[in-house]
Structure 1
Amino acid sequence: MIIRPRHFVALAFLLFSNTFVRAGDWTNYTTLNTSEGLGSNKIRALVSDADGNKWFATDGGGASRFDGANWIPYKITDGLANNYVFDIAVAGNILWFATGGGVSRYANGSWTTYTEINGLAENYVISIASDTTGGIWCGTFNRGVSKFDGAAWTTYTALDGLAGNRVQAIAVETNGTKWFGTNLGVSSFFYPDWTTYTTADGLACNDVRAIALEGVNNKWFATYGGGVSRFDGSLWSTYTAANSGLASDYVFSVTVDRDGNKWFGTNKGVSKFDGASWTTYTSADGLAENNVYAAFIEKRIRWFGTDGGASKFDDGSITISGYVKHFLEAGVGGVTVELTGRDNMSAVTDADGFYSFNALDWGDYLITPVKSGYEFNPASISTSSLRADFVSQNFTGNRPPDIPSFPSPSDGEINVSTSTALIWSGGDPDAGDTVVYDVYLSTFSPPVFRAGGAGLTYSPEELEAGSVYYWKIIAKDNYGGETEGEVWQFTALPKPETLYFIKGRVKNTAGGGLASAAITITGNASSLVLTDSDGYYEFTGLSLGDYTVTPVKENYLFAPPSLNFFPLSEDASEQDFTASGIITESGGSGVIGGAAGYVRPRSGEKAKIVLNSSAPGDVSIKIYTLDRRLVWETSLYVSAFSQQNVFWDCKNKSGQEIASGIYLVNISGAGIDLQRKVAVIR
């Protein structure tokens, strides 16, 4: 045992205040007006569970539960250990009952009882509490205190350091220190150390019936015959009927509310001490009976357990209520209204949009409605130092317009007409709302405002050809709701391309037109045309770019050999050629096309290469495209003054058919050095 220094301060003088009972509403519950839902009028303890239900321990009538509307009694026949219930402890969702026949545990509708057989020191249990680790401490009438950790029991008695073996009250600090009120003093226990305090240390009386903890330091001890003692860890102070406004020195219970007020249950009513003044309530004020054994403070609702039933005292609790409606006065149901401040809770509006918070304490509050898809005006309502009902706190709920969708032009669309109209879908979930639309449009993102108050279509001025446009729609209803759509984009149709032509005439040396000459164009485009009967040719629909035009006809040479347009940036007319130097089959070497002057392989025609040499020797023949890619080649020995013919089937070296076009024919060897062109048309 650790013996600590004790200091005693006798209250030589304490400021008395006039006993004044504030007007309030009293409601008393007895076995008569609860249809015996309250098991007995002699109430020894009362608590509130996790769901807000009130539980009453009665002397001989078991335990009773009250949900605010209905009473349910629990007795031995229901599973309770004994009908004499002296105390109740709440541990999360589990309730523990100290009875004259052991300890009962109630969880999820099921009862479990522990007795001496299980390890409990004594079946006559008169106090009970749960600690910070989930342990249950059970104070017995004559055999000390037993702890249950969920698996094993441990008992402590006066031999271990407990002041006395009759443990009438238990309190547990947040640091784990346990306080035990006995008939022989009060003990604190912080494993493994025990400390005991008695009248020799400053305690008002050794018969301690109740303990309350206030903050970190103050401990309040209700004694039977000595009044109330406060211990701050160093100094003791005692309040009695003689030196204060305490109703009686026979004190059964002590409770500290959220404002620091102390409530003392005595045999002459209940006394409230706010630190400066005292107020006492008795049966004359509405209390069910003057022997007050238990108290439970819930905001501004005070519950008292007496020898004549349970008393509920509404000490000026307040109500906050109102409606959530649409602008058209239709109620908005299903809105979660959140209340924060002195008390924190939430309510859901009914079909008429009504919400209400009742039995609230005085203080500051913030009211905020919340519902998915809704905007509210005002967004919240606040009040400070509220001490009266706060009703008609109304909100207007509005669902903003639907998100603009289904755009036309569609998102990412290309080649959109420069005179297009913008079209989209919209609407509003609230029937009766009017919706207009703001249009944002520009060639950069985010787009800029272009027009307001539009319907579901908007026709901008002529768009810039080839430009990328960004646009979005903001929908607005007539009650201030706004919905911003996403940013879409489209590309306007590009400017029409400027196209050019090249045309001219192929003439012979006499100035007449040369018909059926093959004219090819290569570069940005490739094509082949034949001159008409007057020697004219034409290429049209040519875009900006580089081109080469080349004429060819069997046994003709052309001047110039080709015409270059680097680039072609305007129409080119009178692009003429002169044909000359006719080569005959008997006059020397050359290339002869088909019947029309060009080779048509699909008609069975072949290019005929004629070799006439004045000297014998090897001759090489190579055929190229106009860009000098080798297509076909062969070689052979020729005799002097003897014509030899070579036929080309218009296929490449791999035996594949070649494309239409003009090809270069190089002949060299045996005194021949000749370049000619041949036109192939499939």
Structure 2
Amino acid sequence: MNQSLQMFVRLNLRSSIVLLSWWIFAAAPLVPISQTSAEDYQPLPTWDFRLYKTPDGDILPRSRDIAEDREGGIWVATWGGGLHYFDRTVWRDFTERDGLPGDWTRCVEVDAKGRVWVGTGDGLARIDRGQVEILSCSEELGVPLDDIYLIERMKDDSIWVSDNRGNLVSFNESETPAWRMVLSATATSGNRINSLATEADGTIWVCLRDQNLLSFDGEEWTPSTPFEGQAWLGVGPRFSEPDSLLCFNNFDTPIYRREGDGWVPFPECGRRVFTIARSPGGDYFAGTDYGVYRFVDGKWNLLYLGREVGRPEVDVLLFAKDGSLWIGTREGLVRGYLPYWTREIGSKRGVGLSTILLSDPDSHTVYGIDSENFLVKKDGADWSRIAPFEVPSDQVVHWTTLRDGAFWMLIDKGGNRFQFDLAKVSVESGQILEREEISDLGPDLRVFQTS
């Protein structure tokens, strides 16, 4: 028996159960009815959201932008804390001491060669194999690039950079000259560019801080007016399929969708939207002043990010290659782990894997239920059985994790709720108890089930 894992948490019937049940199941009614009704509130049991912390246990500062490199490493631009890089167990910080122009970083992007571009309040830098290089195009274009607000990698692999003065320049080292002016501060009337997106047909959209939305068809820039009183607009997703581009106002709730040559109203989520992304499955996700919303079946639904995360103001959303959802907020960095509720064809001595319960992309450890209904663990390439799991996998309809993935809550089709701790898995545990029944399973194990 694996002593590091034992089934079911020891609970104090008179106090712990009451508090824990209130903690988990009272979360949904706390959503303000004026913003999101109980019917709209849809927690995703397949996600496990956690505040991402440094190896010292510190929460990151405001996370303004996030990028993923070719190897799956994550780069985070923080406001006041420099640039952070991590890939599984590897963590590195880049600050002014390492050569950055400053620690107040706003944006980060990875180019086609794997180099990392970072924009700060004091200038532009590029990191290549851990070495920091300060960049400027003042000689070529007369633009110092000393206060960067936006960096985007375009479809042709050029890098577009915008500063606080409203200049938008591009860098493409396959061309001569490499630096080119896209929009000058004169053309933007000195208004900085808040966001940028590209449609499938190649049309590029930029939003100015205090003026109209502009589109570029490859030949000329054209103003567009989806809103009355243009101010603080945003567009997204960054790369949009036909009729999928959304435009939103950072200080109001209306949203518009691009359709043909015009803009049409889109359902509102009732919150100020700061960023829009699209999941690999095609769903819209909105970062707002009140957490993250997902658009499903014609309406926006608030994602439950857990008590630790709460409902922060969101600056950026990134869907990573491993299925994780990274959320940059004004209170720090949040990660949503995936997949948790998927099907996989695997084998353990000819026994197929029925359900994956937990897949940790950092440690590559997987917990699941095999076709003979044993709790199984995959650590590396090998599967091993831990304990019988007498809740049939096809009866499980909902599950979630708390406390850094160690504590589980599981619900079956009969409405029975099971609470257990991965740190306490035992071969003797696993039987389905009658409702309201308390059972001792040894000196260190106790399991409680309620409906």
What band does the TM-score fall into relative to the shorter chain? 0.5 to 0.7
Q: Secondary structure at the match of 1:218?
A: coil
* 1:84 and 2:93 correspond: no
Q: Which residue of 1 aligns with 2:329?
A: 306
Deviations along 1:194-231, whole A, 9 cap, x unmatched? 11123xx4478531245314313321223211233221
C-alpha deviation, 1:265, in angstroms = 0.7
Given candidates 285, 294, 299, the residue that maps to 1:272 is 294
AA partner of residue 263 (structure 2): W
Give SS of 1:81's match: coil
The 5 Å alignment of 1:12-411 reads: 18-29=40-51, 33-35=54-56, 40-92=60-112, 93-115=114-136, 117-118=138-139, 119=141, 120=143, 122-150=145-173, 151-157=178-184, 159-160=186-187, 162=188, 165-183=191-209, 184-198=211-225, 201-202=226-227, 205-212=230-237, 213-227=239-253, 228-239=255-266, 244=268, 246-248=269-271, 250-281=272-303, 285-287=307-309, 289-298=311-320, 300-314=323-337, 317-318=340-341, 320=344, 322-323=346-347
Cα pair distance change 1:146/1:224, threshold 3 Å: same
SS at match of 1:23: coil
Aligned residue type for 2:94: Y
Q: Output one character per residue of 1:517-572: Cα deviation in whole Å (capped at 9) or x when no partner.
A: xxxxxxxxxxxxxxxxxxxxxxxxxxxxxxxxxxxxxxxxxxxxxxxxxxxxxxxx
How far apart are 1:125 and its partner, in Å?
0.9
Residue 256 of structure 1 aligns with an amino acid whose one-letter code is R
Matched residues in 2 for 1:191 and 1:182: separation?
A: 19
Identity %: 19
Q: Deviations over 1:426-484 (max 9, x none)?
A: xxxxxxxxxxxxxxxxxxxxxxxxxxxxxxxxxxxxxxxxxxxxxxxxxxxxxxxxxxx
CA distance in 2, matches of 1:358, 1:121: 53
- Residues 187 and 203 (structure 1 numbering): CA distance in 2 closer, same or farther, change over 3 Å? farther
- Per the alignment, residue 363 of structure 1 pairs with none
Q: Which residue number in structure 1 is paired with residue 379 of structure 2?
A: none
Question: Higher strand fraction: Structure 1 or Structure 2?
Answer: 1
CA distance in 1, matches of 2:312, 2:291: 4
Tell me the distance in 1 between the aligned counterparts of 2:190 and 2:138.
23
Q: Contact (CA 8 Å) 2:157, 2:172: kept in 1 or not?
A: yes
Kindly tell me the number of residue pairs found equivalent between the two proteins. Answer: 312
The alpha-carbon distance between structure 1 residues 20 and 104, as it changes in their structure 2 partners (threshold 3 A), is same
Instruction: Provide the alpha-carbon RMSD of the alignment.
Output: 3.5
Give the residue type in structure 2 aligned to 1:21. Answer: P
Mapped to 1, the partners of 2:330 and 2:90 lie a distance apart of 21
Structure 1 pair 316/277, CA: closer, same or farther in 2 (3 Å)? Answer: farther
Partner residue, 1:618? none
**What amino acid sits opposite 2:233 in the alignment?**
V
Unaligned runs of 5+ in 2: 1-35, 352-363, 369-396, 400-451
Is this contact kept in 2: 1:64–1:71, CA < 8 A? yes
Q: Which amino acid aligns with 2:241?
A: G
Tell me the alpha carbon deviations over residues 564-595 of structure 1, each in whole angstroms, 9 at most, x when there is no partner: xxxxxxxxxxxxxxxxxxxxxxxxxxxxxxxx
Native 8 Å contact 1:147 1:154 kept in 2: yes
Q: Which has the higher contact order (CA 8 A, sep 6+)?
A: 2
Q: In structure 2, what residue type is equivalent to 1:109? A: G
C-alpha distance in structure 1 between counterparts of 2:260 and 2:307, whole Å = 37
Q: Which residue identity lines up with residue 72 of structure 1 in the other structure?
A: R
Q: How far apart, CA to CA, are the structure 2 residues paired with 1:85 and 1:37? A: 18
Return 5+ residue gaps in structure 1 as ranges.
1-14, 330-354, 360-386, 390-682
Secondary structure of 2:245 counterpart? strand
- With over 3 angstroms needed to count, the CA separation of the structure-2 counterparts of 1:169 and 1:176, relative to structure 1, is same
Change (3 A) 1:297 1:134: closer
Higher gyration radius (CA): 1
